């Protein structure tokens, strides 16, 4: 008998369905059944793209900017990126050290594809943005997870980093402010990491700074390459307009770094997607070059919501949360409820089951810490209106109060 065709490459075998994919599927299914589900799983601002940015896209389309753009990005947007790095980060790049891609995600994928050999190790500071791991696995690399505890404010320490580096380490990915923890390094902490990396010239640094503008308590953002100028040639900065300008749907991200690496990334992109959408690039240039009032307004709103979520979650017995320094997530500890029984007698064995319970009982969709490589936690997105946040937290509080704790500690 003929074997059924398997159309899928073995390259995809290591990629497991993620907890975040599960939760969004399950939330959709419940909504389809007519349940009132509050989705706190989404990683995008709930604001509209500012009007002057939309206008710039409209004007570009009307002016005929509708043909294939250059693979590495339009001259206008690349110059806007160069100017942004100088103005905001005090970093000098030439436009040949910049690439524009379809979102920051593609910048990351291009970089890994352009640089990884089979078996190369990539250090991920857990909790981390889940896609890093999957991309490394697809490309034949080996993700190496460095657990960063809540006690260490979810930041990697210089000594843990030093111990994890081997001759096969190709990259460390540092994401600050972090998705999901909001953790942010001080200049001194970045310097301490830089000192370790000075001793390991084979390691490159991917600094994912996409949440740079969503930063609280009057802290000042310091780019990794600005804190460690001696490592600038070995650092790829990943950034984009998705989060700062509420432009997730426009799909524009950019990277800056070593010219040879950038050229190789352009080569990769030329085979996959060519240049990013011309009209979206015009919009992104207007975002970077134009007034920054909405960036400030968004930041203020995110900080207010962060304060609301932190103060309310801290009042729920058994949940733990220290105020995140940036981004729009709360990464909440739920250790107290592991081993607890639900009203129908099910035992909650891990954070995935905890989020399943929240979805079933509270009708709140949240993502388990396992999706980010650190358990037992769950992530709530705080990029939601205040009244919805309050409603979601009311429901979570009611649901966890129904759990019976079986631990004797
Ligand atoms: C840490 C991090 N990096 C990169 C991205 C991807 O951003 P983009 O929309 O520009 O592809 C995200 C989006 O959720 C993110 O959280």
Q: Indicate whether 85 and 55 sit together in one domain.
A: yes
CB 52 within 8 Å of CB 291: yes
CA of 104 to the centre of ligand 1 (A): 6
Alpha helices in 246-350 (DSSP H): 259-272, 278-289, 293-314
> Do residue 283 and residue 348 come from a single domain?
no
pLDDT band at 23 (very low <50, low <70, confident <90, very high): confident
312 lines ligand 1 (CB under 6 A): no
Is 315 in the same domain as 282?
A: no
Q: How far is the CA of 247 from the centre of ligand 1 (A)?
A: 11
| Residue 250 scores a pLDDT above 90 | yes
- Count of structural domains within the chain: 2
Atom of ligand 1 nearest to the CA of 252: 10
**Which pLDDT band, with edges at 50, 70 and 90, does 409 fall under?**
low
Is 70 found in the same domain as 37?
no
In 3D space, the residue among 80, 78, 141 whose CA is nearest the CA of residue 108 turns out to be: 141
Cis check for the bond before 284: say yes or no (omega within 30 of 0): no
| Residue 93 shares a structural domain with residue 174 | yes
> Is 344 found in the same domain as 245?
no
Same domain, 189 and 71: yes
71 in the same domain as 26: no
Predicted confidence (pLDDT) per residue in 149-192, tens digit: 999 999 999 999 999 999 999 999 999 999 999 999 999 999 99
pLDDT tens digit sequence for 355-379 = 999 999 999 999 999 999 999 999 9
Q: What is the mean pLDDT of residues 7-29?
A: 85
380 inside domain: yes
Check if 129 has its Cβ closer than 6 Å to any atom of ligand 1.
yes
pLDDT at 310 over 60: yes
Domain assignment present for 4: no
Q: Does residue 250 share a domain with residue 272?
A: yes
Same domain? For 23 and 59 the reply is no
- Do 64 and 173 lie in a common domain? yes
Which range marks the domain in which residue 301 is found?
11-47+294-401
Residue 299 sits in a domain whose CATH number is 3.90.1150.10
User: Does ligand 1 lie within 6 Å of residue 276's CB atom?
Assistant: no
- Condensed to tens digits (0 to 9), the pLDDT of residues 33-63 reads 999 999 998 888 999 999 999 999 999 999 9
To which H or E segment does residue 54 belong?
helix 51-62
Whether the per-residue pLDDT at 18 is higher than 80: the answer is no
Residues 283 and 308 in one domain: no
How many CB atoms neighbour CB 205 within 10 A? 22
Domain-terminating residue out of 289, 319, 339: 289
Q: Within a domain: residue 376?
A: yes
DSSP 125-183: EES--HHHHHHHHHTT-EEEEEE--TTTTT---HHHHHHH--TTEEEEEEESS-TTT--
pLDDT at position 408 is 59
């Amino acid at each position: 008998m003929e074997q059924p065709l398997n159309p899928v490459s073995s390259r995809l075998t290591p990629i497991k369905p993620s907890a975040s994919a599960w939760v969004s599927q399950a939330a959709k299914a419940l909504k389809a059944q007519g349940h009132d589900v509050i989705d706190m799983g989404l990683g995008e601002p709930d604001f509209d793209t500012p009007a002057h940015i939309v206008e710039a896209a409209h004007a570009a389309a009307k002016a005929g900017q509708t043909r294939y753009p250059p693979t590495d990005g339009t001259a206008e947007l690349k110059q806007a990126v160069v100017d942004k790095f100088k103005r905001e980060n005090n970093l000098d790049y030439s436009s040949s050290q910049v690439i524009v891609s379809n979102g920051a995600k593609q910048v990351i994928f291009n970089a890994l594809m352009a640089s990884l050999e089979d078996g190369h190790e990539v250090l991920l500071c857990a909790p981390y943005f889940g896609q890093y791991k999957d991309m490394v696995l697809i490309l034949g690399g080996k993700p190496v997870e460095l657990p960063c505890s809540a006690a260490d404010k979810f930041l990697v320490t210089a000594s843990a980093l030093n111990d994890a580096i081997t001759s096969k380490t190709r990259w460390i990915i540092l994401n600050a402010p972090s998705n999901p923890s909001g953790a942010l390094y001080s200049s001194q902490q970045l310097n301490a990491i830089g000192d370790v990396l000075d001793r390991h010239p084979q390691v490159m640094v991917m600094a994912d700074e996409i949440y740079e503008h969503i930063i609280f308590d009057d802290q000042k953002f310091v780019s990794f390459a600005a804190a460690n100028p001696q490592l600038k040639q070995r650092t790829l900065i990943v950034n984009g307009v998705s989060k700062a300008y509420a432009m997730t749907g426009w799909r524009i991200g950019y990277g800056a770094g070593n010219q040879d690496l950038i050229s190789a990334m352009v080569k990769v992109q030329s085979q996959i997607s060519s240049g990013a959408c011309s009209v979206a690039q015009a919009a992104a240039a207007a975002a970077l070059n134009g007034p920054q009032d909405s960036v400030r307004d968004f930041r203020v709103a995110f900080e207010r919501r962060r304060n609301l979520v932190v103060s309310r979650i801290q009042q729920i017995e058994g949940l733990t949360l220290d105020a995140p320094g940036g981004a729009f997530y709360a990464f909440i500890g739920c250790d107290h409820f592991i081993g607890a029984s639900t009203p129908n007698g099910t035992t909650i064995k891990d954070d995935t089951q905890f989020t399943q319970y929240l979805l079933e009982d509270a009708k709140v969709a949240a993502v388990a810490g396992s999706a980010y490589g650190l358990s037992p936690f769950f992530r709530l997105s705080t990029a939601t209106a205040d009244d919805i946040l309050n409603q979601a937290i009311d429901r979570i509080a009611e649901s966890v109060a129904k759990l019976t704790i079986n631990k004797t500690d």
